[in-house]
Amino acid sequence: MKSTSVCVIGAGGMGKKHIASLSRFGITRISCVDPDKSKLNAIKANATDISCYTNLEKIQLEDIDSFVVATPVNTRMELVKYIGSLQKPIFFEKPFALDIENAIELKEYIADASKCVVGFPRRMSKKLHLLKNAIDQLDKPYVYQSVFAQDFKKYRPDFAQTYYASNSTGGGFLNDGLSHHIDLAMFLNDAPLNNINIMHGNMNLETTEVDDFAHMSFDIGSKSRGFVSGNQFQKPNDDKVTVISAAGTFYFDRIKDTLTFQDNDTHERVISSGGENWELLLDRQIECFLQLVGHNLLDENLCTINQAIECLKIIDCKQSN
C-alpha cells in the first residue's frame, strides 16, 4: 500500500488535509497539481518529498494509481474528461457537481464509477454508526433532527474571495454545509426521503450571492419525519443529530464528541464519549479510499457517485424563501 501513487488535484485547504492524511498512512508517492504556484510552494514547504505540478499534462498518468480531487466543482468537467477514462479510483471532495444535470454529465465521462467516491466524513464516525444501528431497531415512527452551524467569518475570513462566494463555483450553504447533513440523513435513516421542502436564503454573509442559511423538512419512509437546518453565521458552532421516539431520545453532538440516550427527565445515559475529531474522520475516510485503491474493496461507509447524485437531487428540490 505504501508504494501506491496518489495524485492530489487542488492545493487548497482540503487538498492539504488529504495530503496530510495520506502521509500519516505512509504513502510516499504523492503528487500535487494546482495552477497556483504559491499554493504549491506552501505544500513543498511542509513536505519536500511531494512532487508538485501546475497542470496535469506534466504528469505521467500511467504512473498514477488514484486521484484525489479537491478543487471547486466548476473545474471538474475538464478534469474528469482528462482522467475519467483511466478507470482508476477517484476521490472527489463534496459536492460532486454543481447540480444534478452537471453530475449526470460528469458521470458519463467516468469509465468506472464503481471506483469513485465522494467525501462525506461524518459517515466515518463510530458514534454515528451506533446511532444508525439504534435507528434501525426503532419499531415506531420517530422524528429525526440535525443542525449544522458555524461562524464562517471566523474560520474562513477570506470566504468572499473563494469558491464559496458564487453559485457558479459551487458556493453557498446548501452545497457547502447542509449537503453534509443531507447525506447524513440518507445514510443514517437508510430510507427514501420524500416530500422535501427547503427554505434558504442569504441573511448575514456580505458580498455574496449565495445562501447562508437553510431549513429542510422531509418524510422518512412512510411514517417518520425529518428536519435538517443550519447556517454559516452562528456563534457558537453547532453540529448535532437528535432522534426522538416514544422509547426515548438519542443525542449526538460532534463538537462535544458524545452520543447519549435519555428516556426520563433526570438521567442521561452516555453511550459513547470522546476519541473522535474531524482529523480522525478524514483519516478514516482516506484509509477506506486506500482500501479501494489497493484491494478494490469499497467500504460501505464511503459515499458512492450514485449516492452523491441522490444528495444533489434533494438540493435541487430547494424552494427560495
pLDDT in tens, 43-55: 999 887 899 999 9
266 pLDDT tier (thresholds 50, 70, 90): confident
| Strand bridging mode 143-151 / 233-245 | antiparallel
Residues of the chain with CATH 3.40.50.720: 5-121+283-304
Average pLDDT over residues 242-266: 96
Average pLDDT over residues 97-108: 95
Element (H, E) at 143: strand 143-151
- When the pLDDT of each residue in the chain is averaged and rounded to a whole number, the result is 94
* CA atoms of 34 and 37, how far apart (whole Å): 7
Q: What is the CATH number of domain 126-273?
A: 3.30.360.10
**Order of strands, sheet of 224-231, starting from the edge strand that comes earlier in the sequence:** 269-273, 258-262, 248-253, 233-245, 143-151, 224-231, 213-220, 193-201, 319-320
Q: Write down the pTM of the prediction.
A: 0.95
Minimum mean pLDDT range among 84-98, 204-218, 246-260, 263-277: 204-218
- Alpha helices by DSSP H, listed for the chain, are 13-24, 37-46, 76-83, 100-108, 126-137, 152-155, 173, 179-189, 278-295, 305-315
Closest to 96 in 3D by CA, of 161, 170, 193: 170
Kindly give, in sequence order, each residue whose CB lies less than 8 Å from that of residue 145, ignoring residues fewer than 6 positions away.
226, 227, 228, 241, 242, 243, 244
Average pLDDT over residues 182-204: 95
206 pLDDT tier (thresholds 50, 70, 90): confident
Minimum mean pLDDT range among 66-75, 148-157, 227-236: 148-157
- Between 160 and 255, the higher pLDDT residue: 255
Residues of the chain with CATH 3.30.360.10: 126-273
pLDDT of residue 46: 84
* CA atoms of 283 and 250, how far apart (whole Å): 26
pLDDT of 313 above 50 = yes
Average pLDDT over residues 21-26: 95
Question: Which residues sit opposite 196 in a β-bridge?
Answer: none
pLDDT of 267 above 50 = yes
Closest to 178 in 3D by CA, of 225, 217, 136: 217
Average pLDDT over residues 284-308: 97
Average pLDDT over residues 185-205: 94
- Between 164 and 107, the higher pLDDT residue: 107
Q: Is 165 helix (H, G, I), strand (E, B) or coil?
A: helix
Question: Which residues sit opposite 8 in a β-bridge?
Answer: 32, 68
pLDDT of residue 200: 94
pLDDT of residue 321: 43
Percent of the chain with pLDDT over 70: 98
Average pLDDT over residues 278-297: 97
HSE (side-chain half, CA atoms, 13 Å) at 168: 0
Residue with the three cell numbers 449544522: 148
Q: What is the CATH number of domain 5-121+283-304?
A: 3.40.50.720
Question: Is residue 8 within 8 Å of residue 22, measured between CB atoms?
Answer: yes
Average pLDDT over residues 286-294: 97
pLDDT of 320 above 50 = no
Element (H, E) at 253: strand 248-253
